[in-house]
Amino acid sequence: ALADHYDHPVPIAVIGGTGLSKIEGFEPVASLDITTPWGKPSAPIQIVEHKGAAFAFLARHGLYHQLAPHEVPSRANMAALRHIGVRCVIAFSAVGSLQEHIRPMDFVLPDQVIDRTKGVRPFTFFEGGLVGHVGFADPFDAKVAKIIKGCAAAMQGEGVTIHDQGTLICMEGPQFSTRAESNVYRSWGGSVINMSALPEAKLAREAELAYQMICMATDYDCWRVGDEDVGVSMVLKYMEANSANAKHLVGAVLDELARPEHADTVQAKHHEGSAVMAVQFM
């Protein structure tokens, strides 16, 4: 049986999206059932070990994929990760492509995000007497992105393509976009679209965590003339087809991030002092 506690801080976490529920070769050592002041995370946090380093893994949509994007308890997720010592979050997500050159199965490291959620998701830790504001001009972590890019470049021989920048549109869902919306997002310069980056990235920033999303394209949404419109079966088909690459990439990224030369990138308090963190729990 897995331990229900882990006695060392775990600085690096992966949030798995649709289709990424575990990382092969990483040995599960503990399963942490954590309750935060914002409730319980999407799932127990799994602690896995590999080459002497420990990593945290959290299934964003729950162990049975029972949580729709607008139901994901992002505040509990980020608070629980911070509570166990996490400083750096690699967040995985299936996305629709808004650009011809980003093909299904390609990976994208977004450097910008446009918020098209509708304000129905709890999106801040700063309320109820705790007032804070954080800078969010660059929502993702460029240093972590560079490390991920290096890992993906080493996989090029395996047919892996990665785009090292892009603007991610995060929409509310759970319905996909209309064709008019999809074309508006393209006119805004959107590269890819999902339903999961926000408020996760905002809460990571408030909690002083480095945060980089790895997107994996599963469809061309509904803008591409002559192409089939996005549907669940299309997303699942490409997730499935690319899951070995996704697991391989995430495994390589974790091994690389755990190297001593990246300790500063991983361990530093990110954006410290830009927020008021008076919350004792974290």
Binding status of residue 193 toward ligand ADE by CB under 6 A = yes
- Interface segment toward ligand ADE; rule CB under 6 A; list 81-89, 101-109, 146-154, 216-224: 216-224
Structure-block tokens of residue 259: 């190297």
CB neighbours of residue 211 within 10 Å: 24
> Which of 74, 191, 194, 242 is close enough to bind ligand ADE by CB under 6 A?
194
Rounded least distance, CB 212 to ligand ADE, Å: 18
Q: Among the options 221, 229, 255, 264, which is catalytic?
A: 221
Compose the 67-96 pattern: x for residues touching ligand ADE by CB under 6 A, - for all others.
---------------------------xxx
| Number of amino acids touching ligand ADE (CB under 6 A) | 13
Catalytic residue list contains 221: yes
Find the shortest distance in angstroms from Cβ 245 to ligand ADE.
16
Question: Which residues inside 143-182 make contact with ligand ADE, applying CB under 6 A?
Answer: 171, 176
Task: Find the binding residues for ligand ADE in span 95-114 (CB under 6 A).
Answer: 95-96
Residues 6+ apart with CB under 8 A from 242: 105, 216
Rounded Cα–Cα distance for residues 258 and 261 (Å): 8
CB of 180 to ligand ADE, least distance (A): 14
The answer for residues whose C-beta is within 8 angstroms of residue 265's C-beta and 6 or more apart is 88, 143, 144, 147, 210, 257
- Residue 243 Cβ, how far from ligand ADE at the closest point, in Å? 14
Q: Enumerate residues 219-258 that contact ligand ADE by CB under 6 A.
A: 219, 221, 230, 235
Is the peptide bond between 104 and the residue preceding it cis, with omega within 30 degrees of 0?
Answer: no
What is the bridge-based pairing of β-strands 27-32 and 45-50? antiparallel
* Residue 117 or 194 with smaller CB distance to ligand ADE: 194
Q: How far is CA 83 from CA 65, 150, 229, in A?
A: 24, 30, 41
Residue (17 or 41) nearer to ligand ADE, CB: 17
- Which of 36, 194 has the CB closer to ligand ADE? 194
Of 115, 164, 219, 255, the catalytic one is: 219
**Burial category of 1 from C-beta neighbours within 10 Å (exposed 0-12, middle 13-18, buried 19 and up):** exposed
Looking at this protein, which amino acid is placed at residue 4? D
Looking from the CA of 62 toward its CB, the CA atoms found within 13 Å total 11
Q: How far apart are CA 201 and CA 181, in angstroms?
A: 23
Pick 175 or 280: Cβ nearer ligand ADE? 175
Return residues touching ligand ADE (CB under 6 A): 94-96, 171, 176, 193-195, 218-219, 221, 230, 235
Q: Where in the sequence numbering do the catalytic residues fall?
A: 219, 221
